[in-house]
Structure 1
Amino acid sequence: MKKYIIFIISLFITYSSFAQNASKTVNTDISDVTVFLNGAQVNRSGKASLPTGNSEIVFKNLPSVIVPQSVQVSGKGNFTILSVSYQINYLKEQEVTPRMKSLNDSLELINDKITTENNLLFVYNSEESLILSNKNVAGANSGLSMTALKEAADYYRTRFADIKTKQTIQNKKIKDLNETKQKISQQLNEENARKNQPSGEILVTTYCTAPVNATFDLSYVVNTAGWIPSYDLRVSDLSKPVDLALKANVYQSSGETWEKVKLTLSTGNPSVNNSKPQLNPWFLRYYTPQVYSRTSSDKKRAERPTMAKESMNIASESAADYDLPTTASSYVEQSENPTNFEYTVAIPYTIGSNGKQTTLEIQKNELAAIYEYYSVPKIDKDAFLLARVTGWENLNLLNGDINLYYENTYVGNSYLNAASSKDTMDFSLGRDKSISITRTRSKEFSSKKLIGINQKASIGWEYALKNKKSQPVKITIEDQVPVSTDKDMEIEVSETSKGTYNTNNGFVTWKFDLKPAETKNFKLVYSVKYPKDKELILE
């Protein structure tokens, strides 16, 4: 009897230990997400009741792309976290999502409709066969009168036309239903592919001396997320500053949906190597340069655009004056950390795990700008309106594309280089046909003559600039004279009409303040002396 009691006690202790070591699954919800330029830190929280002793807690249905080194777990309550580990579950039980259930229901409904329409088509086909059979029988009966034969022909023609029309309609319905079925099936296949993806799990071992209601906070980093900065630069009136809006294009494909979460956008980048650089000794040795021929494909790869894209006018309807809706930037708080900036958005956002970008405006500033026109009539006879923006270097901006708008019309795009050392950025707002510029060759100042062993070519250009606008404008005109590349080649500029001549690059610049309807005429005259046995292209 005594041995039996000892066995029962031992069995009870063993069962209790097993119960304490059994895994406990805890559900968590996303509370907030910090999105970096490359990557995102997701914060989750959940609650669990822990028994006395050791417990293993499993946090399931997490992304399979978590950076294992980034996993952190903390808690509130009288318990101790003994260990934390991350694993990928390739054998998780597949669950049917509401989206999949809806697609399955739609697929079943479509199949029922296809069956119904096919049955009706079968009826029309059977009726057609029946009429054809009766027509053959009637045709074999020579006792029919002409009147009866005419009536039969009219009946066949009318009924056949009706059947053929209905068959065409049925075939079109069935074709459309099959196309819809194919689309639903493709979408369902995509959902099944996502559902069959492995999931991540965080395993936490805890110990407590008494039962406790615990709160767990999880955080981890995923690399399949980030945000891309871009800008909208708007000019509503040439007498007002420009509006520069910073936008965040947030994306993620981590495998989980961020449903109505608090977003914080950080300019940090955890994927960048943050180790300090270290110099090594620089040993200098002789070397023999290798000569190779450069192929045309190499030249193409070496070419890179050095200027912003040319602005283009796209017609759009100007909006009337009205109160604009509040943008997301009104709900964004900016904070500065030692190594980055953060933008905290007060409005909850939902970011799906499809890699598509969700755009939100996080900062809006007014910047001082000087508006003036610019033209190079040698290349293009039109005048381009420029916004020369200052004060941007104090806003801690990031590199990004800029969409340009003038009077609510999209006029092109450019690029903001935040690393630029210039304090003024120029943005082209498009062409203005109300500024007229002509450049014509002057016969009076154009000539060619021999001087001993040399020849001298004189070239003159005449310009006519007119402001057809009702307000004064500032405009800069640029042209050029050639730059000598040989000691026997002499360039002499004799007339610039008070333009500024740069001898290093040959550029000639004129700046004018034009009143409404005012016209300015000016000219550029230069000569080139070179050996008479040489040829130059001077046009």
Structure 2
Amino acid sequence: MNAHVIQASVSTDYGSALPPLNKMTRCLVLPLMFGGSAVLGLSSAQAATSNVEQVTIYQGSASVTRALPITGNGEQTVVFSCLSPHMDKESLSVQVQAVGNVNVGEISIEELTGEQAAQCQYQGDAKVQTQQNTLANINAELEAARLAKAYLQNLTKATQVNTDSTIANNARDIETQATSINQRILEIQQRQARAQDALNQLMSGSATSTFNNVTQVSVRTASRSPSNIKLHYQVRGAGWEPAYQARLNTTSEQLSITASAIIAQQTGENWTNVPVTLSTVNPNQSTTGQLPYVQRLSLYEENQDANVRRESPMMDAAPVMMAEAAYTKGAGVSMAPLPNFTVSSQNKNGIIEYRLPQLVSIPSDGRRVRTVIGEQSGSSKLWIRSTPSVETAAYWYASAPFLTPDWVDGSLQLYRDDNYVGQSRYSYQMLKEQGIGFGSDPNMMVKELTNEDKQGEKGVLNRTQTITTTNAYQFTNQHNRSVRLQVLGSEPISRDDSLKVTVTNTPPVTERDWNDNQGIVAWEFDLPSKQSQVIRSTSQVSYPANKMLAGNQ
């Protein structure tokens, strides 16, 4: 059964003056003093369904805008029914805006339970509504056929015939008509059974979540002409997260990254063919920064407890709300233009909004709806990176100079030469600094040659002692082409003037303090096909003999 929003109007003539209601927007939330039947009891009641004009989805919540027409004139009560039970009703987030010369009065919010809530269960499910209409038409046909059969039966009893020929002719006519009606009733009953089965299957697998209650908002209005009224409210139980796919072609050195949004909601409302905007803002995070801690110091006096207290400066409490846990015509006919799914984005001082160009259907059952929100691609620089002191392996890496900081962090699926190689994390800053890893490279052989420590002897006359560490690794390129190899290593860092560190690298390092990481060094060179390269590093640490060496390794 379809649940409708009721717009009840009272045919009262106020003359040229409208009732003294506050105009345009009201945010007062008042409890209803009457049940849903009281609204239905108003005269000149008309049924209307509110349309969702806009949905903006955040992390854990959403802003919804609905619209209802105001027909007629005078004072009337407009009712938005079958709304989410998770609507934020305690704050002033429920707002009403009237379009045109309309006065807006009090706003009332109530919870509906039982049968009234059950009627809202399948509102907005287009397939269920279509099947319900089909079944209703079949039931009407069946009722008409049964009425025709009953009429024929009554006519037969009331008809008096006088001759044998007339009796025979009437009997044959009645038999023919009765047979036709019975066959029609049987055929309609079979269609009715099939339609009922189809409806039951749709309802059992419907995308609509069932709730024990729903929210209804009633708005008192006064107008002289038809207009529209909009309801803005916040609802919990919705959210979205970004997901990325990176595809690297190692032959052409082309890289493309596709950004998608995974949307899900369990608000209790089915959003069917609605405009959707995705916002990167998180309404659940703190909205104010903290002030610095100030120490209150005092001197300790005998027989008196110390009065050292930690006092936090007064600050506005940040409200925190916990969030509750996707045309083709025949030949010779002009083709209709294909829909454009290009997402427009806007950066509002760090808050990025993605406006989807197409209408989206997001059922309230928690299913994940995925839609593409952007793509960036271009030429990439490729290299193979190894950190042999940690792991004797090498990995493919690619730069992405075309990336922009508009995308927020999210999961990243990686494809190298059309093969799925794993999953990582998309972070603009990290990817710009370190590149994107695309899995291990079995064609780069890494072999450890030397890893030894030697400690100098301490004698009576020796005032210093030394520790010498040597590491050597061999890299062999088994590719059929030359590759760029990057090897990362480390050098000890002295934090004491009496502790001396000397490091010898063969070949010399290409970069020290790699990517502003103190102590990390990098070698970069082109390694020809089927060739090998050895990297050797020797460090010597000297310190006073009467001291002990402390470090983090």
| 3-state SS in 1 of match to 2:435 | strand
| 3-state SS in 2 of match to 1:424 | helix
Return the offset for 1:252: 0.9
The code of the aligned residue for 1:511 comes to E
Q: 1:335 to 1:391 in 2, by over 3 A?
A: same
Contact kept, 8 Å, 2:511 with 2:523, in 1: the verdict is no
> What whole-Å deviation, never above 9, does each CA across 1:102-158 have from its counterpart, x for those lacking one?
9xxxxxxxxxxxxxxxxxxxxxxxxxxxxxxxxxxxxxxxxxxxxxxxxxxxxxxxx
Q: 1:450 to 1:207 in 2, by over 3 A?
A: closer
The code of the aligned residue for 2:478 comes to K
Higher helix proportion (structure 1 or 2): 1
CA distance in 1, matches of 2:421, 2:490: 28
1:65 maps onto 2:86 in alignment: yes
1:285 maps onto 2:297 in alignment: yes
Q: 1:91 to 1:192 in 2, by over 3 A?
A: farther
Q: Which moved more, 1:375-384 or 1:80-89?
A: 80-89
The code of the aligned residue for 1:350 comes to S
Pairwise CA RMSD: 4.5
Aligned residues: 398
Aligned equivalent of 1:343, options 354, 358, 370: 354
| 3-state SS in 1 of match to 2:507 | coil
| 3-state SS in 1 of match to 2:485 | strand
1:426 maps onto 2:429 in alignment: no
Mind listing any 5+ residue stretches in structure 1 that lack a counterpart? 1-11, 103-183, 291-326
| 3-state SS in 1 of match to 2:275 | strand
The code of the aligned residue for 2:503 comes to V
1:33 maps onto 2:43 in alignment: no
Aligned equivalent of 2:484, options 464, 467, 474: 474
TM-score when normalising by structure 1: 0.61
Aligned to 1:409: 419
CA distance in 1, matches of 2:206, 2:473: 67
Return the offset for 1:449: 5.8
Contact kept, 8 Å, 2:298 with 2:307, in 1: the verdict is no
Q: 1:376 to 1:337 in 2, by over 3 A?
A: closer
CA distance in 2, matches of 1:364, 1:87: 45
Aligned equivalent of 2:71, options 37, 43, 49: 49
TM-score when normalising by structure 2: 0.60
Q: 1:24 to 1:409 in 2, by over 3 A?
A: same
The code of the aligned residue for 1:513 comes to D
CA distance in 2, matches of 1:278, 1:505: 31
Aligned to 2:409: 399
Aligned to 1:381: 392
CA distance in 2, matches of 1:388, 1:372: 9
CA distance in 2, matches of 1:235, 1:273: 39
CA distance in 2, matches of 1:502, 1:334: 39
Contact kept, 8 Å, 1:44 with 1:218, in 2: the verdict is yes
| 3-state SS in 2 of match to 1:390 | coil
CA distance in 1, matches of 2:343, 2:456: 72
Aligned to 1:513: 526
1:84 maps onto 2:107 in alignment: yes
Contact kept, 8 Å, 1:88 with 1:200, in 2: the verdict is yes
CA distance in 2, matches of 1:280, 1:508: 38
- Summarize the alignment of residues 51-450 of structure 1 with structure 2, pairs less than 5 Å apart: 52-68=73-89, 69-76=92-99, 79-93=102-116, 94-95=118-119, 195-209=210-224, 212-237=225-250, 239-272=252-285, 274=287, 282=294, 284-285=296-297, 330-337=341-348, 340-366=351-377, 369-392=380-403, 394-418=404-428, 420=429, 423-441=432-450, 450=457
CA distance in 1, matches of 2:101, 2:490: 81
The code of the aligned residue for 2:358 comes to I
CA distance in 1, matches of 2:278, 2:471: 56
Return the offset for 1:335: 3.5
> What whole-Å deviation, never above 9, does each CA across 1:145-200 have from its counterpart, x for those lacking one?
xxxxxxxxxxxxxxxxxxxxxxxxxxxxxxxxxxxxxxx99x97x99995452111
Return the offset for 1:516: 1.9
Q: 1:423 to 1:54 in 2, by over 3 A?
A: same
The code of the aligned residue for 1:84 comes to I
CA distance in 2, matches of 1:426, 1:535: 40
CA distance in 2, matches of 1:216, 1:505: 62
Return the offset for 1:363: 0.8
Return the offset for 1:91: 5.0
Q: Which moved more, 1:55-64 or 1:30-39?
A: 30-39
Return the offset for 1:534: 9.3
